[in-house]
Amino acid sequence: MATWNSRGLRGSTLEDLINRTNEKYREQGLALIQKVPTPITPIRIDKEHRHITLAYFDQKSTVDYIGAVQGIPVCFDAKECDTDTFPLQNIHAHQVEFMGDFERQEGVSFLIILFSQRNELYFLPYRRMKEFWERAQDGGRKSFRHDELDLSYVLTPHGGYLVPYLDGIQKVIDESE
C-alpha cells in the first residue's frame, strides 16, 4: 500500500508551476482549473507541529487537475521524467479510463510531462497517450521515447505563463476541426 511519506516531493516543482499558471489563467478570465486533492487517511500525526507524518491513500485518484477553459471541460495529469524514455507504468489504468470517459463527454484530456533532463515541458494529448498505452497493452514497448513525440506540442513559457497548456489545448481543437 502506498503511503503519503513514501512518495516524497515528486512532481511538486511541476505542480507549483502549473498552479501558478492556473492562477494567472483565472485572473485573466481564460480558464478555471483546480488541483484535485487526493483523499488520505492520517495514520501518524506530529501533535506538536500539527503535521501528518504518515497516511494512506483512501482511493485511487483520477487526474491531478480538472476544470473548464472557455466552456470546454478539461482534465489533465502532471508527470515528471528524468530521462528521454517515459515509462507507461507512471500512468495508471484507471487514469486512462477516466480520461477516455472525459473525452467521450466532449472534454479535452492530456498529460503535461516535464522532461527534467531537457528542461522541457511537453503537452501529450490523450489520443497520442492512448496510442502508446494500447501499444503496451498489445505486447509492445512499455514506454515511449522522446523522439516519438511531435515537437510542435512542446510548451514554451511566454507572457508570464510558466506552463502555457492553453497552447496545447488550442492545437488539439484546431486539429480536430
- Binding-site positions for Mg(2+): 62, 64, 77, 95
Print the domain residue range for 36: 4-176
Question: Which of the four pLDDT bands, split at 50, 70 and 90, describes residue 50?
Answer: confident
pTM over 0.85: no
What integer pLDDT is reported at residue 39 of this predicted model? 64
Bridge partner residues of 32 (DSSP):
68
Give phi and psi for 62, each to the nearest 5: -90, -80
Annotated binding-site positions: 62, 64, 77, 95
% of the chain exceeding 90 in pLDDT: 75
10-31 pLDDT per residue, tens: 446 899 999 999 999 999 999 9
5 has a pLDDT exceeding 50: no
Buried b (16+ CB within 10 A) or exposed e, 101-130: ebbeeebbbbbbbbbeeeebbbbbbbebbe
Task: Give the CATH number of the domain where residue 151 resides.
Answer: 3.40.1350.10
User: How many domains is the chain built from?
Assistant: 1
Note the pLDDT of residue 41. 67
